[in-house]
Amino acid sequence: MKNLFDVSGKTILVTGASRGIGKVFAEGFRDSGAIVYGTGSKQESIEWMNDSGIQGRVADITKPGSMTPIIDEIRSKHGRLDCLINNAGYATNKPASAFKEDEIYKIIDTNFAGVFRACQAYYKAQKKDGGNIINIASVLGLRGYSLSSVYCGTKGAVIQLTKALAAEWIGAGFKVNAICPGFIDTDMTIMLKEKPQILEQLNSSIPLKRMGKPEELLGTAIFLASDASSYIMGQSIVVDGGLIEIMR
């Protein structure tokens, strides 16, 4: 019987693969036999990929057109890009009243506009072949959270974008879904770890009593990239240690 979860030989592109969740995804898919490309915003951020079996490429997703040459290169070399994982993101921990204009648009351009542009570039390149998009959203796109106003807004927008693209592109053979992580122990949550009292309160509010590890998201990503999820469309899968259940 065919292994429905097999991703070996699939071509996978992970944005924001320089660290954290994206790095774990890139390494995890490589170890599962996939052909993996990973992006970072600067050359030095992808140097760890040298001789790793992962093809690193520089791409600032806030810049229009940045993903097109990478997608075209992958298609030229391998015939198709089986799965695009939009992982690149940016977060702050700031009162809503304190945001300046440039700070607002940095988060929007990274977390939403950059994701949209990547999806659009992928669709244009693959519209005759179909494809698979996994957007990395957040539980904070489903529930509001203090000091995360703009971030919550952009992740909520990614969830709605996922649903809209799933509906619009299904006829072209595209599968579009999202993963909504809870609080994950990465560089992006360091602002929480630097405040012991807040970290303690956060951990006590999570049913599993701890933040998640990036590796604990990998199984969901492999599932969505594989044939095992062939009938799943427009969904946002929550991976949060049970947090959202007590945020209702």
Q: Which residues participate in catalysis according to the annotation?
A: 151
Separation CA 46–CA 49 (nearest Å): 6
Are residues 82 and 11 in contact, defined by beta-carbon separation less than 8 angstroms?
Answer: yes
Nearest Cα to Cα of residue 133 among 66, 62, 54, 224: 224
Distances in Å between the Cα of 21 and the Cα atoms of 28, 114, 154, 160, 189 are 10, 17, 18, 22, 12
Separation CA 1–CA 214 (nearest Å): 31
Helix runs in 170-213, H state only: 190-193, 196-205
Starting at the edge strand found earlier in the chain, the sheet holding 131-136 runs 54-58, 35-40, 11-14, 83-86, 131-136, 174-181, 236-239
Question: For residue 9, what are its two tokens?
Answer: 């030989």
Q: Give the contacts of 63 (CB within 8 A, at least 6 positions apart).
A: none
